[in-house]
Amino acid sequence: MNAYHPHAADHAFVLFDVLLAHEHLAELPAMAEHADTALLTQVIDEAGKFVGDVVAPLNRSGDEIGAQWKAGAVTMPPGFRDSYQAFWQAGWPSLACATEDGGQGLPTVVEAVLHEMLNAANHGWTMAPGLLHGAYECIRHHGSDALKARYLEKLATGEWLATMCLTEPHAGSDLGLVQTRAMPLADGRFALSGTKIFISGGEHDLSDNIVHLVLARLPDAPPGPKGLSLFLVPKFETDGTRSAVHCERIEEKMGIHASPTCVMRFDEAAASIVGEPGKGLNAMFVMMNAARLLVGLQGIGLLDAAWQKANAYAQERRQMRAPGSGSKAGQADVIALHPAIQRTLGTQRAWIDAGRVIAYRTALELDTQKHHPDTARREAAARWCSLVTPVLKSAWTEQAFSGASACLQVFGGHGYVREWGIEQHVRDARVAMIYEGTNEIQAIDLLVRKTLPDGASALQTLLGELAADSAPDPRTRQALQAFSAFVREQVVPQTSAGDTAPGQPFWLADDFLRALALLLMAWAWGRLAAAPNVDASAHADFWRWVWPEFDMRMAMMKTTLSVGQPRPAML
Amino acid sequence: MNAYHPHAADHAFVLFDVLLAHEHLAELPAMAEHADTALLTQVIDEAGKFVGDVVAPLNRSGDEIGAQWKAGAVTMPPGFRDSYQAFWQAGWPSLACATEDGGQGLPTVVEAVLHEMLNAANHGWTMAPGLLHGAYECIRHHGSDALKARYLEKLATGEWLATMCLTEPHAGSDLGLVQTRAMPLADGRFALSGTKIFISGGEHDLSDNIVHLVLARLPDAPPGPKGLSLFLVPKFETDGTRSAVHCERIEEKMGIHASPTCVMRFDEAAASIVGEPGKGLNAMFVMMNAARLLVGLQGIGLLDAAWQKANAYAQERRQMRAPGSGSKAGQADVIALHPAIQRTLGTQRAWIDAGRVIAYRTALELDTQKHHPDTARREAAARWCSLVTPVLKSAWTEQAFSGASACLQVFGGHGYVREWGIEQHVRDARVAMIYEGTNEIQAIDLLVRKTLPDGASALQTLLGELAADSAPDPRTRQALQAFSAFVREQVVPQTSAGDTAPGQPFWLADDFLRALALLLMAWAWGRLAAAPNVDASAHADFWRWVWPEFDMRMAMMKTTLSVGQPRPAML
Per-residue pLDDT of chain A (571 residues; tens, 9 = 90+): 567 999 999 999 999 999 999 999 999 999 988 889 999 999 999 999 999 999 999 999 999 999 999 999 999 999 999 999 999 999 999 999 999 999 999 999 999 999 999 999 999 999 999 999 999 999 999 999 999 999 999 999 999 999 999 999 999 889 999 999 999 999 999 999 999 999 999 999 999 999 999 999 999 999 989 999 999 999 999 999 999 999 999 999 999 999 999 999 999 999 999 999 999 998 888 777 789 999 999 999 999 999 999 999 999 999 999 988 888 877 899 999 999 999 999 999 999 999 999 999 999 999 999 999 999 999 999 999 999 999 999 999 999 999 999 999 999 999 999 999 999 999 999 999 999 999 999 999 999 999 999 999 999 999 999 999 977 789 999 999 999 999 999 999 998 866 566 789 999 999 999 999 999 999 999 999 999 888 789 999 999 999 999 999 999 999 999 985 545 444 3
User: Is the distance from CB of B336 to CB of B315 less than 8 angstroms?
Assistant: yes
Q: What is the dihedral of CA A165, A171, A176, A181, to 10 degrees?
A: -60
In the prediction, which pLDDT does B464 show?
Answer: 96
Distance CA A91, CA B544 (A): 52
**Do B315 and A571 lie within an 8 Å CB cutoff?**
yes
A–B interface: beta-carbon pairs under 8 A: 223
Other beta carbons within 10 Å of B75: 17
Pairs from A415-419 (Cβ < 8 Å, separation ≥ 24): A415/B434, A416/B253, A416/B254, A416/B255, A416/B430, A416/B431, A416/B434, A417/B251, A417/B252, A417/B253, A417/B254, A417/B261, A418/A64, A418/B251, A418/B252, A418/B253, A418/B254, A419/A1, A419/B251, A419/B252
**A389, containing H or E segment:** helix A375-410
Distance CA A12, CA A303 (A): 18
Q: How far is B567 from chain A (nearest CA, A)?
A: 8
Distance CA A529, CA A523 (A): 10
Q: Which amino acid is at A550?
A: F
Nearest CA among B239, B261, B246, B12 for reference residue B114: B12
Distance CA A570, CA A559 (A): 21
What b/e readout covers A431-456, taking b as 16+ CB neighbours within 10 angstroms?
Answer: bbbbbbbbbbbbbbbbbbebbbeeeb
In this structure, what DSSP letter does residue B222 have?
P
In the prediction, which pLDDT does B284 show?
Answer: 84
In the prediction, which pLDDT does B288 show?
Answer: 79
Nearest CA among A184, A68, A169, A51 for reference residue A120: A51
In the prediction, which pLDDT does B570 show?
Answer: 42
Q: How far is A373 from chain B (nearest CA, A)?
A: 40
Over residues B434-441, mean pLDDT: 96
Q: What are phi and psi of B340, to 5 degrees?
A: -60, -35
Q: What is the pLDDT of residues B333-387, one digit of tens each?
A: 999 999 999 999 999 999 999 999 999 999 999 999 999 999 999 999 999 999 9
User: Is the distance from CB of A19 to CB of A357 less than 8 angstroms?
Assistant: yes
In the prediction, which pLDDT does B568 show?
Answer: 44
Distance CA B361, CA B244 (A): 43
Q: Using 50, 70 and 90 to split pLDDT, how confident is the model at B500?
A: low
**Do A433 and B342 lie within an 8 Å CB cutoff?**
no
DSSP readout, B268-327?
EEEEEEESSTT-HHHHHHTTHHHHHHHHHHHHHHHHHHHHHHHHHHHHH-B-SPPTTS-P
In the prediction, which pLDDT does B503 show?
Answer: 87
Q: Is B409 touching A (CB cutoff 8 A)?
A: yes
Distance CA A482, CA B395 (A): 32
Distance CA B534, CA B355 (A): 15
Distance CA A312, CA B225 (A): 27
Alpha carbon distances (Å) from A362 to A31, A90, A443, A463, B106: 16, 26, 18, 15, 63
Which residue is catalytic, options A111, A137, A153, A436? A436
**Do A340 and B544 lie within an 8 Å CB cutoff?**
no
- Residue B445: its chain A contacts at CB < 8 A? none
**Do B324 and A224 lie within an 8 Å CB cutoff?**
no
Other beta carbons within 10 Å of B155: 30
What b/e readout covers A229-264, taking b as 16+ CB neighbours within 10 angstroms?
Answer: bbbbbbbeeeeeeebbbbbeebbebbbbbbbbbbbb
Other beta carbons within 10 Å of A485: 10
Q: What are phi and psi of A164, to 5 degrees?
A: -115, 115
Q: What is the pLDDT of residues B144-197, one digit of tens each?
A: 999 999 999 999 999 999 999 999 999 988 999 999 999 999 999 999 999 999
User: Is the distance from CB of B470 to CB of B462 less than 8 angstroms?
Assistant: no
Q: How far is A352 from chain B (nearest CA, A)?
A: 20
Burial class (CB in 10 A: 0-12, 13-18, 19+), B48: buried
| Residue among B315, B340, B506 whose CB faces A506 most closely | B340
| Residue among A416, A430, A503 whose CB faces B339 most closely | A503
Q: Is the predicted pLDDT of residue B470 greater than 90, yes or no?
A: no
Question: What integer best gives the mean pLDDT of chain B?
Answer: 94
Distance CA B434, CA B438 (A): 4
What b/e readout covers B363-372, taking b as 16+ CB neighbours within 10 angstroms?
Answer: bbbbbbbebb
- Residue A440: its chain B contacts at CB < 8 A? 340, 409
User: Is the distance from CB of A180 to CB of A203 less than 8 angstroms?
Assistant: no
Q: Which amino acid is at A455?
A: G
**Do B567 and A430 lie within an 8 Å CB cutoff?**
no
In the prediction, which pLDDT does B344 show?
Answer: 98
What b/e readout covers A547-569, taking b as 16+ CB neighbours within 10 angstroms?
Answer: bbbbbbbbebbebbbeeebbeeb
Which residue is catalytic, options B248, B276, B436, B465? B436
Nearest CA among B355, B357, B337 for reference residue B345: B337
Q: Is the predicted pLDDT of residue B56 greater than 90, yes or no?
A: yes
- What are chain A's domains? 8-152 (1.10.540.10), 161-285 (2.40.110.20), 292-563 (1.20.140.10)
Q: What is the pLDDT of residues B515-563, one digit of tens each?
A: 999 999 999 999 999 998 887 899 999 999 999 999 999 999 999 999 8
Q: Is B412 touching A (CB cutoff 8 A)?
A: yes
Other beta carbons within 10 Å of B59: 24
Nearest CA among A165, A63, A427, A250 for reference residue B419: A250
User: Is the distance from CB of B305 to CB of B2 less than 8 angstroms?
Assistant: no
In the prediction, which pLDDT does B571 show?
Answer: 39
**Do A176 and B330 lie within an 8 Å CB cutoff?**
yes
B318, B416, B513, B559: best to mutate for the A interface, most A CBs within 10 A? B416
Q: Which amino acid is at A99?
A: T
Nearest CA among B299, B305, B521 for reference residue B432: B299
Q: How far is B503 from chain A (nearest CA, A)?
A: 5
In the prediction, which pLDDT does B2 show?
Answer: 63
Alpha carbon distances (Å) from B224 to A96, B142, B216, B432: 59, 21, 11, 26
Nearest CA among A506, A437, A495, A399 for reference residue B343: A506
Percent of chain B with pLDDT over 90: 89
Distance CA A222, CA A210 (A): 30
State yes or no: is B159 an active-site residue.
Answer: no
Pairs from B459-464 (Cβ < 8 Å, separation ≥ 24): B459/B387, B459/B487, B460/B484, B460/B487, B460/B488, B461/B380, B461/B383, B462/B383, B462/B384, B462/B387, B462/B388, B463/B487, B463/B519
**Do B419 and A556 lie within an 8 Å CB cutoff?**
no
- Residue B198: its chain A contacts at CB < 8 A? 413
In the prediction, which pLDDT does B461 show?
Answer: 98
User: Is the distance from CB of A200 to CB of A127 less than 8 angstroms?
Assistant: yes
Distance CA A426, CA A256 (A): 10
Q: Cβ neighbours of residue B363 under 8 Å, at least 6 residues apart? A: B107, B108, B109, B111, B112, B293
Distance CA B18, CA B12 (A): 9
In the prediction, which pLDDT does A327 show?
Answer: 87
Burial class (CB in 10 A: 0-12, 13-18, 19+), B144: middle
Q: What are phi and psi of B454, to 5 degrees?
A: -100, 25
Q: How far is B47 from chain A (nearest CA, A)?
A: 30
**Do B510 and A167 lie within an 8 Å CB cutoff?**
no
Q: Where are the alpha helices (DSSP H) in B317-374?
A: 339-371
Give me the half-sphere count of Cα atoms (radius 13 Å) on the Cβ side of residue B544: 27
| Residue among A552, A565, A566 whose CB faces B548 most closely | A552
- Residue A439: its chain B contacts at CB < 8 A? 409
In the prediction, which pLDDT does A503 show?
Answer: 87
